[in-house]
């Protein structure tokens, strides 16, 4: 397994259950955490309710039961626990599997730099031979160059440890991106006593929506939503959202999203990605109610200004950095200034430039999907070569598998993919 975040770690656990040995390779010693759960800050809450965050498909209450035993104050099935606790829970599950099946999981700390025909090579020259390789490399740092003009006032990897340390308590900041990464940064800054103001810009200026306090019941998708032309399906979705609520409609789509995506023609997928994706993302990946309250408070207090538009110019100034943009609905350019610019454009997936997958594409061992979102995969996550044949020894799991499954970012989706990959690797069924 290349990558020891949630995806690689829990796949190793599931394989150990099935009697299979695996080697879990991660850049850092904090196996089980990855970017999402490595945060030490308790204000970074899960954006999925506790009752839906089991790491194991067959045991829906596994995380809830773990919280009841380990941290009862957070064991509310409808609540949103600190992400830090989810990381500890995954680490516990890894340790339990290692104890129950000694020798079935090996951990290696190191960076994999190449996928060979019979295993992987690490940066320090070590080679790990394997019958199969699973790329579970997760969420890469942002890849935009939008902020480059900001010079040393650009914070271009906001998830790096201590990334926000240079921001002073009264500094104003500029942010590119208005999604979940922006929210994470503002929460952390605010909790640390930051009193400045923020200007956040994205193409559409959309903010993630909030979960309601009480759990919604998902509405089963109607036949009109899962068959027929895309425009008709969208119309039916809107109708259902008006009558039964948009949250219930979106949640009802969750179990069928991957199938719908796979059944959709590339030309239609392309239109969906271009026009619908920002709307999909803010409705699908929602905020815990208390988190939404903090962001609403910043807007109400005039400390967070959210703008829609296209970056025109970013420049370092004597005081910090300036940002000019062309508003989405307007003709006159707008501008903002701040001490720092934070790149919150989100994970920068780029399979062609990625040092692991780029060479696979060049060698014909892998190919891009029609939209260039990621590697082309079969229904179990096997990598398809240039000739369209699935490689039985090479898999992709987690967020980098998005071209094949679209929603494979959050735990409830990834844990289903883990079962599929585990079954494919052991010749069984999921
Ligand atoms: C900030 C943030 C918050 C999130 N919050 C939630 C949430 O509340 N609920 C939810 O369900 N989902 C959430 N997610 C979605 C998240 O994608 C998944 O929950 C999950 O963490 C994905 O795990 P992963 O193992 O696939 O990827 P990652 O967590 O990114 O882990 C990948 C690991 O692979 C390592 N790696 C990468 N390349 C190499 C290499 N070449 N060699 C060695 N190691 C390598 C990385 O260092 C990393 O440790 C969040 C995501 C982010 C970014």
* Cα–Cα distance list, 415 to 10, 60, 71, 285, 360 (Å): 8, 11, 23, 17, 26
- For every residue of 345-406, DSSP letters joined together read ------TTTSTTHHHHHHTTS--B-TTSSSB-B-TTSEEE-TTS-EEEEEEE-SGGGHHHHS
User: Do residues 265 and 257 make contact, with C-beta atoms less than 8 angstroms apart?
Assistant: no
**Residue 62 binned pLDDT confidence (cut-offs 50, 70, 90):** very high
* Percent of the chain at pLDDT exceeding 90: 77
CB distance 48 to ligand 1 below 6 Å: yes
Q: Provide the token pair at 37.
A: 């759960």
| Torsion, Cα of 155, 161, 167, 172 (10° steps) | 60
CB distance 356 to ligand 1 below 6 Å: yes
CA of 347 to the centre of ligand 1 (A): 10
User: Do residues 333 and 201 make contact, with C-beta atoms less than 8 angstroms apart?
Assistant: no
- Tell me the average pLDDT across 284-299: 96
**Residue 146, pLDDT score:** 64
pLDDT in tens, 152-164: 899 988 888 888 9
Atom of ligand 1 nearest to the CA of 355: 41
CA of 4 to the centre of ligand 1 (A): 9
CA of 41 to the centre of ligand 1 (A): 17
- For every residue of 188-200, DSSP letters joined together read HHHHTT----EEE
Q: 276 Cβ partners below 8 Å, 6+ apart?
A: 234
CB distance 291 to ligand 1 below 6 Å: no
Could you tell me the CATH superfamily of domain 6-140+348-426?
Answer: FAD/NAD(P)-binding domain (3.50.50.60)
**Residue 330 binned pLDDT confidence (cut-offs 50, 70, 90):** confident
CB distance 50 to ligand 1 below 6 Å: no
Among the residue ranges 61-65, 249-253, 257-261, 426-430, the one predicted with the least confidence is 426-430
**Residue 430 binned pLDDT confidence (cut-offs 50, 70, 90):** low
Among protein residues, the one whose CA lies closest to atom 23 of ligand 1: 6
Among the residue ranges 41-45, 149-153, 200-204, 403-407, the one predicted with the least confidence is 149-153
**Residue 290, pLDDT score:** 96
CA–CA gap between residue 332 and residue 122 (Å, rounded): 52
CA–CA gap between residue 148 and residue 45 (Å, rounded): 31
**Residue 428, pLDDT score:** 64
* Percent of the chain at pLDDT exceeding 70: 98
Helix (H, G, I), strand (E, B) or coil at 130: coil
**Residue 221, pLDDT score:** 83
Q: 169 Cβ partners below 8 Å, 6+ apart?
A: 193, 194, 195, 196
- For the domain made up of 148-210+286-343, give the CATH fold: FAD/NAD(P)-binding domain (3.50.50)
CB distance 237 to ligand 1 below 6 Å: no
**Residue 230, pLDDT score:** 80
CA–CA gap between residue 277 and residue 106 (Å, rounded): 39
CA–CA gap between residue 351 and residue 7 (Å, rounded): 18
Atom of ligand 1 nearest to the CA of 45: 8
**Residue 387 binned pLDDT confidence (cut-offs 50, 70, 90):** very high
User: Do residues 342 and 185 make contact, with C-beta atoms less than 8 angstroms apart?
Assistant: yes
**Residue 395, pLDDT score:** 98
**Residue 206 binned pLDDT confidence (cut-offs 50, 70, 90):** very high
**Residue 145, pLDDT score:** 67
Atom of ligand 1 nearest to the CA of 411: 11
Residue 239 pLDDT greater than 80, yes or no: yes
Within the chain, all domains assigned CATH 3.50.50.60 are found at 6-140+348-426, 148-210+286-343
- Tell me the average pLDDT across 391-419: 95
Q: 333 Cβ partners below 8 Å, 6+ apart?
A: 312, 324, 325, 326, 327
> Which neighbouring-strand residues pair with 210?
287
pLDDT in tens, 81-122: 999 999 999 999 999 999 999 999 999 999 999 999 999 999
CA of 11 to the centre of ligand 1 (A): 13
CB distance 136 to ligand 1 below 6 Å: yes
């Amino acid at each position: 397994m290349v990558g020891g975040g949630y995806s690689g770690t829990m796949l190793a656990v599931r394989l150990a259950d099935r009697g299979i040995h695996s080697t879990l390779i991660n850049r850092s010693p904090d196996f089980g955490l990855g970017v999402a759960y490595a945060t030490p800050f308790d204000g970074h809450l899960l954006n999925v309710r506790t009752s839906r965050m089991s790491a194991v498909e067959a045991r829906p209450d596994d995380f809830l039961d773990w919280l009841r035993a380990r941290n009862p104050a957070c064991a509310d099935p409808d609540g949103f626990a600190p992400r830090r606790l989810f990381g500890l829970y995954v680490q516990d599950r890894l340790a339990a599997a290692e104890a129950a099946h000694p020798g079935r999981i090996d951990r290696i700390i190191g960076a994999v730099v190449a996928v060979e025909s019979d295993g992987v090579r690490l940066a320090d020259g070590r080679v790990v031979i394997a019958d199969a390789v699973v790329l579970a490399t997760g969420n890469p740092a942002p890849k935009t160059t939008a902020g480059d003009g900001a010079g040393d006032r650009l914070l271009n990897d906001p998830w790096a440890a201590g990334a926000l340390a240079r921001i002073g308590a009264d500094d104003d900041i500029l942010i590119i991106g208005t999604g979940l990464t922006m929210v994470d940064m503002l929460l952390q800054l605010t909790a640390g006593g930051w009193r400045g103001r923020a200007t956040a810009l994205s193409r559409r200026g959309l903010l993630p929506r909030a979960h309601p306090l009480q759990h919604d019941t998902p509405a089963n998708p109607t036949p009109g939503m899962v068959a027929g032309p895309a425009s008709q399906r969208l119309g039916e979705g809107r109708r259902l959202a008006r009558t039964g609520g948009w949250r219930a409609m979106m949640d009802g789509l969750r179990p069928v999203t991957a199938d719908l995506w796979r059944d959709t023609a590339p030309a239609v997928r392309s239109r969906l990605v271009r026009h619908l994706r920002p709307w999909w993302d803010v409705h699908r990946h929602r905020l815990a109610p208390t988190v939404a309250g903090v962001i609403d408070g910043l807007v109400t207090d005039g400390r967070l200004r959210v703008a829609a538009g296209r970056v025109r110019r970013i420049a370092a100034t004597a005081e910090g950095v300036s940002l000019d943009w062309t508003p989405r609905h307007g003709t006159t350019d707008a501008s903002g200034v701040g001490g720092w610019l934070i790149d919150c454009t989100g994970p920068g997936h780029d399979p062609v430039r990625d040092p692991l997958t780029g060479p696979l594409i060049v060698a014909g061992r892998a190919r891009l999907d029609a939209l260039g979102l990621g590697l082309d995969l079969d229904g179990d996550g096997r990598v398809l070569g240039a000739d369209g044949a699935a490689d039985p020894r090479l898999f992709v799991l987690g967020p980098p598998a998005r071209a094949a499954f679209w929603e494979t970012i959050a735990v409830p989706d990834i844990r289903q993919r883990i079962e599929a990959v585990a079954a494919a690797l052991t010749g069984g069924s999921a």
